[in-house]
């Protein structure tokens, strides 16, 4: 019998007395247009920890998506200003990984044009280009990947904006970290392969 079969049998025998499923921390953004869920990469530990800390503290919950460009990104967090990210609580060194790309639904950390490619702790964006944005690979940090809420992303990307790509009607965000089991993740559309 394989180890997995032994584990399943053991869990069935133990029943509810001590067989606890492992949970995974998942990013959640709730908007008036619906919920977005995304996997947080272990391969980017500084960015993952930053997201978890800021989400858990409610940092983003009074903010909104302040930059929306259809077929590019939706972005929120600290203001996207010419002065850069001086309002960010801290900056994060890059953790580029060749296997993590700017695919459709990738979640990344914004930054200004600094030559060291240091991310702002407060900025996050979601790729809204079905073909991805490979020109951003190795330039901006990706720390997560959406698996639920693509319809929500599309609804956000279609809102009316002004000349600076700011939505005319604010899209507030409630950013959280939720713990989900493997079965819950699979039911929600996450693929562990």
- Tell me the domain boundaries of the chain: 21-187
Query: Which residues have a Cβ under 8 Å from the Cβ of 80 and sit 6 or more positions away?
Result: 66, 67, 110, 123
The encoded tokens of residue 27 equal 């990013």
pLDDT at 48 over 60: yes
The encoded tokens of residue 129 equal 């280009």
8 Å CB contact between 98 and 72:
no
Quote the pTM value. 0.86
| pLDDT, position 84 | 47
8 Å CB contact between 84 and 118:
no
Distance CA 189, CA 178 (A): 15
Structure confidence at residue 77 as a pLDDT band (50, 70, 90): confident
| pLDDT, position 17 | 52
Question: What is the sign of the dihedral through the CA atoms of 42, 140, 111 and 93?
Answer: positive
Distance CA 36, CA 30 (A): 6
* pLDDT tens figures, 129-184: 999 999 999 999 999 999 999 999 999 999 999 999 999 999 999 999 999 999 99
Structure confidence at residue 3 as a pLDDT band (50, 70, 90): low
* Biggest alpha carbon–alpha carbon distance for the chain: 64
Q: Is 42 helix (H, G, I), strand (E, B) or coil?
A: coil
- The dotted CATH code for 21-187 is 2.40.100.10
Question: How many residues would you count in the chain?
Answer: 193
| pLDDT, position 121 | 85
Q: Is 18 helix (H, G, I), strand (E, B) or coil?
A: coil
């Amino acid at each position: 019998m394989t180890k997995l079969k032994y584990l399943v049998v053991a869990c069935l025998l133990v029943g509810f007395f001590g067989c606890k499923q492992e949970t995974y921390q998942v990013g959640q953004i709730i908007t008036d247009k619906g919920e977005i869920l995304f996997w947080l990469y272990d391969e980017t530990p500084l960015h993952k920890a930053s997201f978890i800390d800021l989400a858990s503290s409610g940092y983003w919950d009074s903010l909104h998506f302040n930059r929306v460009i259809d077929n590019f990104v939706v972005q929120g967090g600290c203001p996207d200003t010419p002065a850069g990210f001086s309002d960010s609580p801290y900056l994060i060194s890059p953790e580029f990984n060749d296997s993590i790309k700017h695919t459709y639904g990738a979640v990344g950390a914004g930054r200004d044009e600094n030559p060291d490619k240091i991310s702002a702790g407060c900025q996050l964006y979601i790729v809204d280009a079905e073909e991805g944005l490979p020109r951003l690979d190795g330039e901006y940090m990706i720390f997560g990947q959406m698996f639920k809420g693509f319809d929500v992303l599309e609804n956000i990307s279609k809102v009316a904006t002004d000349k600076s790509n700011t939505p005319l009607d604010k899209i507030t965000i409630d950013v959280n970290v939720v713990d989900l089991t493997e079965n819950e993740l699979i039911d929600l559309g996450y693929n562990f392969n």
